[in-house]
Structure 1
Amino acid sequence: MCRGEKLNLQLARIDDRLIHGQVATAWTKATNVARIIVISEEVAKDPLRKFLLQEAAPPGVKANVVTVEKFVSVYQSQLFQDQKIMLLFTQPQEVVALIQQGIAIKSVNIGGMRFQVGKKMVTNFISVDEEDVAAFRFLAEHGVELEVRKVPNDRKIYLNELLEKSFK
């Protein structure tokens, strides 16, 4: 049995910029979340980035930065059961890790993955490498909707279609 049924998850989003203007204004307003949880192994180990992200949360919204392992242990305690939550990730592999731990995530919004050497541009704001593609395929095979939008009012584009065109 998946453990995600009790999490009041309003949005799961991959955006390597994490909490920034679009998230702090448009997405938090559209989802009416009370808490943003950044799940990133790298960011959780960086005290300065962690502090800056917690400070970047809009008024009335709490922000936490945790590892996958910490989120799973806190989730099991049902600490956030009655709160509307947004999960933010820097990469799809962290979403895969939650799914593998039995946490149900039905949909993931991909908002931005910057271009780096070795990555291929899929859109003007999403670049992926083979590891990312493998993670997205895993998520799709596990029934996770993968949709691309910068802001809530944008039309949904499905990532699977973009990957098929780019990685034939």
Structure 2
Amino acid sequence: MGIDIRLVRIDDRLIHGQVATVWAKRLDIQRIIVVSDAVTKDNLRKTLLQQAAPPGIKVNVIPVFKMIEIYSNRLFNDVRVILLFTNPVEVAKIVKAGIPIPSVNIGAMGYTVGKKMISNTIAVDEADIQAFRYLDGLGIELEIRKVISDSKQSLMDMVKKAKL
């Protein structure tokens, strides 16, 4: 029981055209939950995300601890959701707390100082790599696809190619 998680996606753009239309429709979701401690504190970004939602789909922006808290709440039983994250560290936190995730889709992780590009859309730092290694060690699939119709690429293969 609990929330019906249809997709866990890391994409620092969060809700944009592909997520809002194609993924949401194809996965028949009712709600998009943005799980981010940083975004929770940014009122402008929260408002913009809620406005970007497709018709009929609710958007919630919550901190990591709240996701852990509500996961097994009966009020959310069978609610079909996409969980969106900006980074793998926060995904690892919910997994450590016992939320089962079989797969993580990685869309885009933008470059900032201290990060290394491992593909044309994904930049990682040491904390990201450690989180990805933790998730990979649990057997969680880490797949890169910008759009649902793309073929899956292994994130860990890209990390190995980048010699990280």
Query: With structure 2 as the length reference, what TM-score do the two structures score?
Result: 0.96
- Which residue of structure 1 aligns with residue 9 of structure 2? 13
- Which residue of structure 2 aligns with residue 67 of structure 1? 63
Identity among equivalent pairs (%): 52
Say whether residues 1:161 and 2:161 are aligned partners: no
User: In structure 2, how many angstroms separate the alpha carbons of the residues matched to 1:13 and 1:55?
Assistant: 19
Deviation, structure 1 residue 51: 1.3
User: In structure 2, how many angstroms separate the alpha carbons of the residues matched to 1:57 and 1:162?
Assistant: 31
Deviation, structure 1 residue 7: 2.6
Corresponding pairs, count: 164
5+ residue gaps in structure 1?
none
Deviation, structure 1 residue 159: 0.5
User: In structure 2, how many angstroms separate the alpha carbons of the residues matched to 1:164 and 1:7?
Assistant: 34
User: In structure 1, how many angstroms separate the alpha carbons of the residues matched to 2:7 and 2:163?
Assistant: 27
Q: Which amino acid aligns with 1:152?
A: I
Deviations 1:25-64 (A, max 9, x none): 1111221111000000000111111111111110011000
Moved beyond 3 Å, runs of 4+: none
Deviation, structure 1 residue 98: 0.1
RMSD over equivalenced CA pairs, Å: 1.1
Q: Is the 8 A contact 2:2 2:73 kept in 1?
A: no
5+ residue gaps in structure 2?
none
Query: With structure 1 as the length reference, what TM-score do the two structures score?
Result: 0.94
The 5 A counterparts of 1:81-100 are: 81-100=77-96
Q: Is the 8 A contact 2:145 2:153 kept in 1?
A: yes
